[in-house]
Structure 1
Amino acid sequence: MSGRIVVLTGGVGGAKLVLGLMQVCPAEQITAIVNTGDDFRHLGLAISPDIDTLLYTLSGKANAAQGWGREGETWTFMEALKSLRGEDWFLLGDGDMALHVLRSHLLASGETPSSVTARFAAAWGLGLDILPMSDDPVATHVATDQGDLPFQRYFVEQRCMPAVRAIRFDGAGTARPAPGVIEAIRDASTRAILIAPSNPWLSVDPILAVPGIRDALAAAGAPVVAVSPIVGGQAVKGPTTKLMGELGLAVTNAAIADHYAGVIDGLLVDQRDGGAGVGIAHAVTDTLMKTLDDRARVAQAALELAERIAG
């Protein structure tokens, strides 16, 4: 079936779904809108973790065991940094450094995050459109029992150990959607809009916080389908389960559906949990994405649910 597929994504789980989509439909039909609330400056370099994870995953360069970073990475830079007593809590491999240095150089030369991302995707022949959610800075901050923490300090340095009390997205109120974001959602040729099984609070909410994006999704002509991040009553990866408990939420698909109320038309859930209490159109499949075939299967199931909703 022809038509554009739009996917909101962040993190490793999101990258897996986008890779699955590339197995079941042409890359040129896919537009990925990526969370940039995780972006930050480190050692003077512009780091975009979710965009980089997507670039590495789709190009076959990702570390297969970790899901992030590059396969076959070397660490000479980090060893030299440690010898100088530099901050070593955020790992920067030698190959990874090339991407960060070039991005920082291009941004300093006047390019936008959108143009830099498109440049990298084209260099690696990826074929799809990868759009940052915004070219304006938006920074996720986590209020915890140990104080206010910028996202990477919470996620990487503290390994998500502090208990979360609230989350905010600094700069979101005045940010604008990146060029192409609203157009892709509203495009008459768009046949499905998917929300990846990324952390709804930390990876998807920053996208929805950019003015205009939530409203565009709510008014979209294409069905909006989220893939639940819950598998067997737990999150596959990351702090989703822990975070939901700290925010006073039950770890259920009903809670995920409620969180996306007014945005999604359907929810794809794992067969271990079923769709009880979801309250909206849903489909059930094995959503665990260990292999490339798994990722293609989940992508296909999400598209089939969207097609069913569209009638």
Structure 2
Amino acid sequence: MTAPVADDHIIALAGGVGGAKLADGLAHLLGDRLTVIVNTGDDFEHLGFHISPDLDTVTYTLGGVANSQQGWGLEGETWGFMEQLARLGGPAWFKLGDRDLATHAYRTNRLREGATLTEVTVELGAALGVTSRLLPMSDDPVRTVIHSGGRSIAFQEYFVRLACGVPVDRIEFAGAAAARLNPAIGALPRPAAVIICPSNPYLSIDPILAVPGARSWLKGLGVPIIVVSPIVGGAAIKGPAAKIMQELKAPVSALGVAAHYRGLADGIVIDNCDEALAAEIAALGMAVRVESTVMRSKADRIELAGACLAFARALLQTPAFDHPPASTK
């Protein structure tokens, strides 16, 4: 297992279960030298609660309390609230566990008191023992909207209620143009690298990049930006990434992922089974590292995180990055 470079501060972009898993591996190696910027395009208001699914998944995972089977929600959850809600004829399509409700109630109450989403995220992470810094991409509302067959569908309606069962014609990030990149991001120390976790490129990472200034900030850092492909062997490990890529006429492969991030990412980590694509990806001007990217265990998360850090260290030695990595001291 590869150890992190001493004194490196790493920034990761993440959302969803796959992103949370790699963020967890990075957190194990880096602790408070890791900042995870999390997608909030999935956020919505439901039953009077402000719900932040990706923030919760990353927080629960790094806090060691996530449901180990499904990857989201809390371990040992009970469902009395949902059972009673369904009995009353309420909207029971979006499942809220009894203990998970406390998170949403706490967040909603604090926001009504005037706290920012960033402040609430820090509070929740601290309560669960998370030592890495978790930041929402923006404190302003950005909402992912799916356009399908002339319909505009709110993201959670598409993802949960419709189970991704309609074709995607276009994806919109409503509110993004007026949103401001989280001010805390600009105050971060210059990292040694940025790692884009194996999250859905279209649903978890693109909302972050849609916030004005996000892309220019990332490129302006002047450090390696590495993406880990969420597509392995032509399929998504979890979620609708492959289906969306097909519907948007993108190659459903690690090559398609690389093309999506062309101009932003300097390197990509692909799975061993996709090694044959390495030359084509390199032709896009992107460095390639081949690793086992399927994370079935905690050890897998840490191993992949270490490989990403080693990849970043190698890229830092290339002529394109002839400056020393920034220190967090």
Q: With structure 2 as the length reference, what TM-score do the two structures score?
A: 0.91
1:132-185 C-alpha deviation (Å, 9 max, x unpaired): 00000000000113721110000001111100000000000010011222333x
Distance, in Å, in 2 between the alignment partners of 1:223 and 1:107 is: 35
Match of 1:249 in 2: 250
> How many residues are treated as equivalent by the alignment?
307
Give the C-alpha shift of residue 276 in structure 1: 3.2
Q: Is the 8 A contact 2:147 2:153 kept in 1?
A: yes
Aligned amino acid, residue 162 of structure 1: V
- Partner deviation per Cα, 1:36-80 (whole Å, 9 max, x = no partner): 000000011000000000111111111111000111111111111
**Match for 1:51 among 50, 55, 58?**
55
* Residue 157, structure 1, aligned to residue 158, structure 2: no
Specify the alignment match of 2:201 in structure 1: 200
Aligned pair partner of 2:26 in 16, 21, 26: 21
Provide the C-alpha distance between the structure 2 equivalents of 1:225 and 1:107, rounded to a whole number of angstroms. 34
1:73 and 1:145 map into 2 onto residues whose CA distance is 37
1:79-129 CA distance string (max 9 Å, x none):
111111000000001000000011000000000000000011111121111
2:301 is equivalent to residue 300 of structure 1: no
C-alpha separation between the residues in 2 aligned to 1:252 and 1:301? 21
Instruction: Tell me the equivalent position of 1:126.
Output: 130
1:259 and 2:260 correspond: yes
Contact 1:218 1:262 in 2 (8 A): no
Alignment-derived partner of residue 120 in structure 2: 116
| Correspondence for 1:77 | 81
- CA–CA distance in 1 between the matches of 2:258 and 2:219? 14
Looking at structure 2, the residues matched to 238 and 269 of structure 1 have their Cα atoms a distance apart, in angstroms, of: 18
Amino acid at match of 1:294: D
Q: Offset at 1:253?
A: 1.9
Distance 2:69 2:95 in 1: 16
Unaligned runs of 5+ in 2: 1-5, 318-329
Q: Structure 1 stretches of 5 or more lacking a match?
A: none
What is the CA–CA distance in structure 1 between the aligned matches of 2:160 and 2:118, rounded to whole Å?
A: 25
Distance (Å, rounded) in 2 between the aligned partners of 1:3 and 1:228: 23
Structure 2: how far apart are the matches of 1:183 and 1:199? Answer: 27
Structure 2 counterpart of 1:290, from 284, 293, 296: 296
Match of 1:276 among 275, 279, 294: 279
CA distance in 1, matches of 2:93, 2:184: 35
Distance in 2 between the 1:251 and 1:182 partners? 34
**Aligned with 1:8 (options 7, 13, 33):** 13
RMSD: 1.0
Partner of 1:218: 219
TM-score (norm 1): 0.97
User: In percent, how many aligned pairs have the same letter?
Assistant: 48
Cα pair 2:41 2:173 within 8 Å, conserved = yes
Cα deviation code 1:232-283 (max 9, x no counterpart): 1211000011111000111122221121122111000001011231121110
> Relative to structure 2, which stretch is displaced further, 295-304 or 198-207?
295-304
CA shift for structure 1 position 284: 0.2
Cα distance in 2 between the residues matched to 1:124 and 1:179:
24
Conservation of the 8 A alpha-carbon contact between 1:61 and 1:70: yes
Aligned-residue offset at 1:221 = 2.0
Q: Which residue identity lines up with residue 277 of structure 1 in the other structure?
A: E
Q: Is the 8 A contact 2:233 2:253 kept in 1?
A: no
Q: Which amino acid is the alignment partner of residue 6 of structure 1? A: I
Name segments (4+ residues, structure 1) moved above 6 Å. Answer: none
Q: Which of 41, 46, 49 lines up with 1:42 in the alignment?
A: 46
The whole-number CA distance in structure 1 between the counterparts of 2:309 and 2:139 is: 29
The residue type equivalent to 1:247 in the other structure is L
Does the alignment pair 1:238 with 2:239? yes
Helix, strand or coil at the partner of 2:59? helix
Structure 1 Cα separation of the partners of residues 115 and 271 of structure 2: 41
Contact 2:43 2:53 in 1 (8 A): yes
